[in-house]
Amino acid sequence: MRIFRALLVFVAVSAAVTAFSAQAPATGQAQGYRAPRTADGRPNLNGIWQAINEANWDLQPHAANFGRVVALGAEDAMPPGIGWVEGGEIPYLPAAAAKKKENYEKRLTLDPEIKCYLPGVPRAMYMPFPFQIVQSKDVTMMIFEYAGAVRTINMGKPTEAPADSWMGWSNGHWEGETLVIDTTGFNDQSWFDRVGDFHSDELHVVERITAASPDRLNYEATIEDKNVFSRPWKISMPLYRRVDRNMQLMEFKCVEFVEELIYGHLRKPGTQPPPH
């Protein structure tokens, strides 16, 4: 009887949550909010922001799962996530789907995050670290706590990337309340998450950032790569202002934490790594 009553409660709560979700506004809607203005009259997005979700583990809907290092137990386990991909699934081409599976199986050694490589775009926006937006008339900067990564977004006449890079080459403009960022010029080394979702050097990302309230931004990114995906696809999520007292970006220069991992095999036989 107790089990039956518990089941009824679960069904009722699930129905209520579903009904609420159906009535709730979409993440991309700012509900008419108008952000404060900068000196040049643009929406003021300055501040320290952070995604509070599980997208860095896996962009697609996923259950809790074992981590990459069994010895770490629950500490390395994957938290469940609702998914941030419009339609639920990333539209891989067949050969690319096989590559993603291989990436997953070898993620402990292949994930660029493990070796402190730059996170790329859009991954930098939803890693579990804060980042800061600094606006000026001609340039918008994004400074990330993770690895000290930086994005310089040209707000003037669009320019082309001089060379491929981890973070790509970004040109931005305003469409009303929305900052639109068009980024190309990527290398093919970064991933979108820890389960091996990846891209080629043909990656093209268009981001849209809109203030939805004083302390929340709506973030969308449309992702296109003809070598990997059958069509463009989109992710969306909120970003939240960090309002902690004395909040500031701290240093997380993780290179020193991976030197032994990357170069330890070159150590002279008989020597030991320094104590931690």
Nearest CA to 65 out of 107, 102, 23, 24 is that of 107
Does the pLDDT at position 175 exceed 80? Answer: yes
Class of domain 34-52+90-244: mainly beta
Using DSSP, state whether 14 is helix, strand or coil. helix
The enclosing H or E element of 212 equals strand 204-213
Nearest CA to 199 out of 186, 210, 188, 209 is that of 188
Q: Hey, what are 73's tokens?
A: 């137990």
Q: Hey, what are 89's tokens?
A: 């699934």
Q: Tokens 């001089």, residue?
A: 162
Summary mean pLDDT of the chain: 89
In angstroms, the CA 223 to CA 30 distance is 22
In angstroms, the CA 119 to CA 48 distance is 18
For 107-163, write each residue's pLDDT tens digit.
999 999 999 999 999 999 999 999 999 999 999 999 999 999 999 999 999 999 999
Q: What's at 53, amino acid-wise?
A: N
In angstroms, the CA 245 to CA 256 distance is 29
For 68-90, write each residue's pLDDT tens digit.
998 999 999 999 999 999 999 99
Using DSSP, state whether 9 is helix, strand or coil. helix
pLDDT score at 262: 74
Instruction: Quote the pTM value.
Output: 0.86
Q: Hey, what are 214's tokens?
A: 């004083």
pLDDT score at 28: 44
Q: Indicate the burial class of 33 (C-beta count within 10 angstroms; 0-12, 13-18, 19 or more).
A: middle
C-alpha separations of 147 from 52, 113, 256, 257 in Å: 19, 10, 10, 11
Domain residue limits, the chain = 34-52+90-244
Does the pLDDT at position 182 exceed 60? Answer: yes
For 239-276, write each residue's pLDDT tens digit.
999 999 999 999 999 988 888 777 776 767 767 666 66
